[in-house]
Amino acid sequence: MLKFALSLKFKLKIMAHQHENLSVDDASTSSKSTKVWFITGASRGFGRIWTQAALNRGDKVAATARKLESITDFKEKYRDNVLTLELDVTKPDQVKTAVEQAHAHFGRLDIVVNNAGYSLVGTIEETDPDDVRAMYETNIFGALAVIQAALPLLRKQGSGHLVGVSSNLGHVTLPVIGYYCSSKWAFEAIHESLATEVKPFGIKVTIIEPGAYATEFGSQESLKFAAGLDIYADFKAQFFGNLKSLERGDPNATPEALFKMVDAENPPLRFFLGSHNLPWVRSAYAERLAIWEQWEEVSSSAQGTVK
């Protein structure tokens, strides 16, 4: 068992070293042949923008949304290049049917984009656990349903790219939307494990991590508010006031970067969208490392030795 553990540790170090040495030039080697996409949450925000951009460049898209009428305009404009499907990702049977229908319709699926999700607004104390569970049903279990429905088909193809839309809040957190942040941290961990598990089958995995963008994500349809406690009223008012001054990116500027990533021979596991993410995450990790190092002696003293 010890030999196996050491061997595994050595292999993981090699994988990490190879990943660190992947250059942008390597990643830029691209395949620009027509691709077939499956996109959840295609009715608004990034989902709509990316669906339209993919269709405009000549790709084919299975576009899904909870309300079919919200995406019928795609069918009217792009005809045979698009398949519109009604899909609630919290219904696993419906997910499986939609994924299989899309695959049968186009003959393959090249890129599966898990984009459906919403944010729960409320402090940790005041939020009803049932509301947290409901958000996880969409943000986590909905994404899992799509992944598990798609994997047998992609494995049989011997190819495919699973793209999960996370957030820079998969690395850092903000108050008042802590539960949403937690769903993205879970989302990140699941996809990181997934990437290693499916690599032998020729399947790629990328986590897209957008920063703040001026999409409909902040609309009533994409937010659920917890019943408030008066003790947090002033704190939340200040928080939302600060958010109003936050610089937001133009979501229509994202497709070109998205295409460079999905067309790459070796797409990254993690892919930021926006210019503010890396400085924020770099600072957050530097602070974490500093604290761990400050307490290293005490932490190491707890190791002990098994006799």
Query: Which pLDDT score, from 0 to 100, does residue 1 have?
Result: 42
pLDDT digits (tens, 9 = 90+) for 59-70: 999 999 999 999
Q: Is the Cβ–Cβ distance between 47 and 116 less than 8 Å?
A: yes
User: If phi over 0 gives left and psi between -120 and 50 gives alpha, with beta otherwise, what is residue 172?
Assistant: beta
Query: Which pLDDT score, from 0 to 100, does residue 4 have?
Result: 39
Please tell me which residue in 180, 182, 204, 232 is annotated as part of the active site: 180
Model confidence pTM above 0.75: yes
**Residue 12 falls inside a structural domain:** no
**Residue 239 falls inside a structural domain:** yes
pLDDT digits (tens, 9 = 90+) for 124-182: 999 999 999 999 999 999 999 999 999 999 999 999 999 999 999 999 999 999 999 99
Q: Name 248's Cβ contacts closer than 8 Å, sequence gap at least 6.
A: 212, 213, 214
Instruction: Give the integer Cα–Cα distance in Å for 293 and 283.
Output: 15
Please tell me which residue in 35, 43, 78, 166 is annotated as part of the active site: 166
Q: Name the domain count of the chain.
A: 1
In the chain, the amino acid numbered 117 is G
Higher-scoring residue by pLDDT: 78, 11: 78
**Residue 16 falls inside a structural domain:** no
In the chain, the amino acid numbered 130 is D
Q: Which helix (H) or strand (E) holds 113?
A: strand 111-114
Domain enclosing residue 185, as ranges: 32-288
**Residue 301 falls inside a structural domain:** no
- The winner for highest mean pLDDT among 14-18, 29-33, 114-118 is 114-118
Establish how many alpha carbons lie within 13 A of residue 208's alpha carbon, considering only the half-sphere containing its beta carbon. Answer: 26
* Average pLDDT score over the chain: 88
Give residue 6's pLDDT band: very low, low, confident or very high (50, 70, 90).
Answer: very low
Question: Which of 36, 30, 33 minimizes the C-alpha distance to 60?
Answer: 36
Query: Which pLDDT score, from 0 to 100, does residue 268 have?
Result: 97
**Residue 15 falls inside a structural domain:** no
| 179 is annotated as an active-site residue | no
**Residue 294 falls inside a structural domain:** no
Instruction: Give the integer Cα–Cα distance in Å for 106 and 110.
Output: 10
Query: Which pLDDT score, from 0 to 100, does residue 62 have?
Result: 98
Q: What is the largest CA-CA distance in the chain?
A: 72
Q: Is the Cβ–Cβ distance between 156 and 211 less than 8 Å?
A: no
**Residue 54 falls inside a structural domain:** yes
List the beta bridge partners of residue 200.
none
Instruction: Check the CA dihedral 120-123-124-129 and report its sign.
Output: negative
Instruction: Give the integer Cα–Cα distance in Å for 233 and 194.
Output: 40
CATH, residue 203: 3.40.50.720
Lowest mean pLDDT among 56-70, 88-102, 205-219: 205-219
**Residue 5 falls inside a structural domain:** no
| 245 is annotated as an active-site residue | no
| 180 is annotated as an active-site residue | yes
Instruction: Give the integer Cα–Cα distance in Å for 176 and 226.
Output: 10
Please tell me which residue in 184, 204, 213, 232 is annotated as part of the active site: 184
- The winner for highest mean pLDDT among 28-37, 87-96, 207-216 is 87-96
Three-state DSSP at 200 gives helix
Residue with tokens 């003293």: 301
Query: Which pLDDT score, from 0 to 100, does residue 264 have?
Result: 96
**DSSP letter at 138?**
I
